Amino acid sequence: MGLGDEAVDYLDAWELQRRVHQQVVDGARPDTVLLLEHPPTYTAGKRTEPHERPADAGGAPVIDVDRGGKITFHGPGQLVAYPIVRLPGHVLVVDFVRRLEEAMIATCRDFGVTTARVPGRSGAWLAADDRGPERKIGAIGLRVSRGVTMHGIALNCDVSLSWYDRFVPCGIADAGVTTLSEELGRDVPVTEVLPVLQRHLAAVLAWEPYVATPDYDARPEPGRAPRVEVLSL
C-alpha cells in the first residue's frame, strides 16, 4: 500500500495494475486489490471531451486512461482501490459495479454519512439537503479484459476540494463533490478509512448475495440514458 509520503505515481500504479492483471489472467496470482493514494493527477476516460479537461491543472498531469467514463481527479486524501479480480460466471459486470458502490456506501454509513446510488450516475452520492446540492463522495471507473477487472473506486476522505474547481467532475455540471471530512466537520484521514473500506470490499468480493442500499431517484447525465460506464474487451 502506498499512502501519505509513499503515495504512488499514477503511471507507476497503472503499470503495476497491468502486471497484476496479466498474472491474474494467467492464473499465476490470486485476485488482488491494490489500496493506495496518488499524488495530484487528473485521469481522462474514453468519453472525455476536449472542453472537459482543466484549462489550468494546477501542475497536476492530465493522463488519458483505458477505462470507461469521463475525467476525474486523484490526489492526497482520497483512498483508491483497484480490484484486479476474475469475475465469476454468475456475476455480471453491472453487478460488479453495484458491489463496489455498495462497499463505498457501507463505508460511509459506518462513519455516519448516508449515501446511495443515483441510477444513471455511477458512484456513491449524498442527496441534496440544506447543506448543499446532490454531491458525489465516491467515484468508480472500470475496465474488464479477458474476464478480469482493472481500475476501480476512489473514496474522498480529506482530499482538498479545490482540485475539483478546475474542471467538471465526470462531466456532471449540476451536482457537487464532497468528502467524509467535509460532511462530518472533522478530519477523516485515509488511514482511518482504509480498514473499513477494506472490510467491506472483502465482503462484496466474496461474491455472496447481499442486500443493496435503496437508490435515490434516477438522474441520468444530460443528453444520455442511464448507463454504467465500463470499457470491456
Which residues are part of the catalytic machinery? 170
Contact 205, 118 (CB under 8 A): no
Task: Give burial (CB, 10 Å; 0-12/13-18/19+) of 131.
Answer: exposed
Residue 110's CB: how many other CB atoms inside 10 A?
Answer: 13
Question: H/E element holding 5?
Answer: none
Three-state DSSP string of 96-161: HHHHHHHHHHHHHHHCCCCCEEECCEEEEEECCECCECCEEEEEEEEEEECCEEEEEEEEECCCCH
